[in-house]
A and B are shown apart, each in its own frame.
Chain A
Amino acid sequence: MHGVKRVKQTPEALEAKRQKERAKIHEFLDLSDKLLTRRKDSDFSEESFKLTTRLLHINPEFYTIWNFRRNILTNGLFPGSTQEKVNNILAGELMMTMTALKSHPKVYWIWNHRRWCLENVPFGPGEEGSETYQQWRTAAWDNELFVVERLLDADARNFLAWGYRRYVLASMPVPRSDASELAYTTKKIGANFSNFSAWHQRSKVLTKLWADGTLNEKTSREAEFDLVTNAMYTEPADQSVWVYHRWLVGSNPGKSLLLREIKSIGELLEEQPDSKWCMESIVHYARIFLKLYPEDGAAAGLRERTHQLLRELQELDPFRRQRYIDLRTTV
């Protein structure tokens, strides 16, 4: 149970709650028994289907009933239906699960059912080769992106929704461009720098855009440094920004890039002398520098600075004191 406040209840209030729930429990158990019996009897009728709708409305986490519902569709309702009818039924499923997601955005089984529906949208209308042959499928998948965007509007960090978004983008019959996904992450980050989910997605999309040459990696990377530096100055205590910065610098950066970023973060540290993340990041990049370029002229100064910062971090961030102590022995 997440985020439900504990309230102290009087015995009278508890009894009243029990009374109120008794009818609901009865309805639920009755429906549940009926459906589990029908499931055993392989009763794939329209009537069974309607009962699953009622039960899943009460309890969308009852995975066995979602399974039964899919079995009813596959074995009961689809056979003998025209492709158009199948498409309509699945459109109804998508509508029903949309309503369920609005009140239960973190129930895996609902997302799961949607995947199954989308994957079963038939080709059509029309025969193979006709212009409209992909129409139902394209429409369903396009709409899906719209749906997932509404859910991310409601909770920009819902990781089920982000995972689903990646799944939709990877499965659409007419793929959406990575450039438009990049624009989506720009929008989400612009709305809230703390949205690490959007920064994460951005790192994945940029990797693709750089690899396939859609974006020039060098200039695009520089633009990212501008964006993230701007975010650092706005929200210097926000982890998302610093984690993304680490990705941008990467694990094997050039000497001048490292020195430039250490200098730039150092300037922010002068403005924000208590910024843990400035100190922690300088230490991180200095350690990379010392590992990659131990003979460089700048190494001695960086080593000394790292030791100094690690001493300061022990005081400033006592929860993680042991880590800073351990790091000092490695520099």
Chain B
Amino acid sequence: MTSKELLVPLHVKYIQKLGENKDDLTYHLTSHLRLNAVYWGLTALAIMGHQDALDREEMIAFVMSCWDEEAGAFGAHPDHDAHLLSTLSAIQILIMQDALDRVDVDRVVKFILSLQQPSGVFAGDKFGEIDTRFLYCAVNALSLLGRLGELDVEKTVEYLGRCRNYDGGFGATVGAESHAAQVFVCVAALAILDRLEEVDTDTLGWWLAERQLPNGGLNGRPEKLEDVCYSFWVLSALSIIKRVPWIDSDKLSEFILSAQDTENGGIADRPGDMVDVFHTLFGVAGLSILGYPGLVDLDPVYCMPAAVIEARGLRKDWQALPRKAISS
């Protein structure tokens, strides 16, 4: 069974119950993503207008229990090592919960800045894996913390420029193939740094528009399968370069909605698959950019509620589709 509407109450319930799956092996095998999952769940709830569905104090306490005192940043779970991925999630959650005062911001900033490499890219942690994803995490987090002034912007932008390919897209490192998720991180980082002139808008717009497949879904690279998470990676980049109308939004909405679990809630990578909170967020986020009625505006640059970003004076010049009226 599929639904033509977003089943908000069902998805809210699905997210609320995620923490209760402790007799499910998958729950434990994904502990390395716990803090990210809390961010995905909270943001999805906020975009659906139900941020209060999860207990605020409990959430803040959990985030703080992931603090890695030795490194001065956040791991994904209590007793896990600090990493940029989980550190960004922690900052995003605390900002959405208006609880940034609990954190030693100076130490987090020091941790983030220590990971920039001579080339300008960031490592994810002290073991040195590099990727433009980590660069985005660093730029996003520093911006949210109001500490972008301490970043070597030129070096950072130069690295991003070197990751740009002739098809207008960006890769994970210099020389890597364009990939929609890497396009999002690079374009969003450039947006935060006010350096969108590094993007070849028309070429990238073309490449992104060609991600839409006959079933309405989006893929991440040429000749690959569609996946709901690309609804966000592609759409966020399109909205930052103001080209969302270059794809068929109705067909994409239908595709995202067809990937819902209409019985137990949640959204999957594609119709008929197992749902997870990651695809639930990126499905809802995509729908918000497409102007789906009743949803809260999402900021595509930070992937957080637009009002939160506006309140901090961080809003950039992106363009989503106008919010449609709820039909009765």
Contacts and interface: CB of A to CB of B under 8 A. Distances in A.
Interface string A296-331: 000000000000000000000011111100100000
Interface in B23-39: 23-25, 28-33
A48 interface: no
Contact of B273 (A3, A116, A247, A323): A3
Contact of B221 (A3, A157, A247): A157
Given A1-B273, A5-B274, A36-B79, A200 B25 contact: no
A143 interface: no
A238 to B, nearest CB: 7
A196 B23 contact: no
A163 interface: yes
Contacts of A183: none
Contact of B245 (A5, A24, A40, A322): A322
**Chain B binding surface, main DSSP class:** loop
A203 B166 contact: yes
B36 to A, nearest CB: 12
Interface in B98-134: 125, 127-129
A28 B28 contact: yes
A181 to B, nearest CB: 12
Nearest to A22: B23
Interface of B: 23-25, 28-33, 75-76, 79-81, 83, 125, 127-129, 165-167, 171-173, 175-179, 205-207, 209-210, 212, 221-224, 227, 243, 245-248, 251, 261, 263, 268-270, 272-276, 278-279
Contact of A40 (B24, B79, B127, B261): B79
A112 interface: yes
Contacts, number: 143
Contacts of B175: 166, 204
B177 A196 contact: yes
B248 A319 contact: yes
Interface stretch (A57-65, A84-92, A226-234): A57-65
Given A25-B23, A32-B31, A246-B167, 8 more contacts: A2-B269, A29-B28, A63-B32, A64-B75, A157-B221, A194-B223, A196-B222, A326-B246
A180 to B, nearest CB: 17
A36 B278 CA distance: 26
B206 A323 contact: yes
3 closest A-B pairs by beta carbon, nearest first, are A319-B248, A239-B222, A322-B245
B28 A25 contact: yes
B223 A238 contact: yes
Contacts of A40: 79
Nearest to B85: A63
Contact of A6 (B178, B212, B268): B268
Contact of B227 (A2, A200, A250): A2
A222 interface: no
A211 interface: no
Contact of B274 (A6, A64, A116, A321): A6
A146 interface: no
Given A4-B273, A4-B274, A61-B32, A70 B23 contact: no
Given A18-B23, A61-B29, A163-B173, A67 B81 contact: yes
Contacts of A58: 29
A184 interface: no
B212 A21 contact: no
27 contacts: A1-B279, A2-B269, A2-B273, A6-B272, A6-B275, A21-B23, A28-B28, A32-B31, A36-B79, A62-B31, A63-B76, A64-B75, A64-B81, A162-B176, A163-B171, A163-B173, A194-B223, A200-B178, A203-B166, A204-B175, A239-B222, A240-B222, A246-B166, A319-B209, A319-B212, A320-B210, A321-B248
B223 A67 contact: no
Nearest to A58: B29
Nearest to A235: B223
A323 B177 contact: no
A163 B165 CA distance: 14
A115 interface: yes
Contacts of A108: 129
Contact of B212 (A4, A246, A320): A320
A70 B179 CA distance: 30
A126 to B, nearest CB: 29
Contacts of A62: 31-32
Contact of A3 (B29, B206, B269): B269
A108 B129 CA distance: 9
B285 to A, nearest CB: 17
Contacts of B80: 63-64
A18 B275 CA distance: 19
Given A196-B222, A243-B222, A320-B212, A116 B127 contact: yes
Given A6-B275, A194-B223, A323-B246, A200 B29 contact: no
B173 A115 contact: no
Contact of B177 (A162, A250, A318): A162
Contacts of A320: 209-210, 212, 246-248
A239 B219 CA distance: 13
Given A4-B274, A163-B172, A112 B127 contact: yes
Nearest to A108: B129
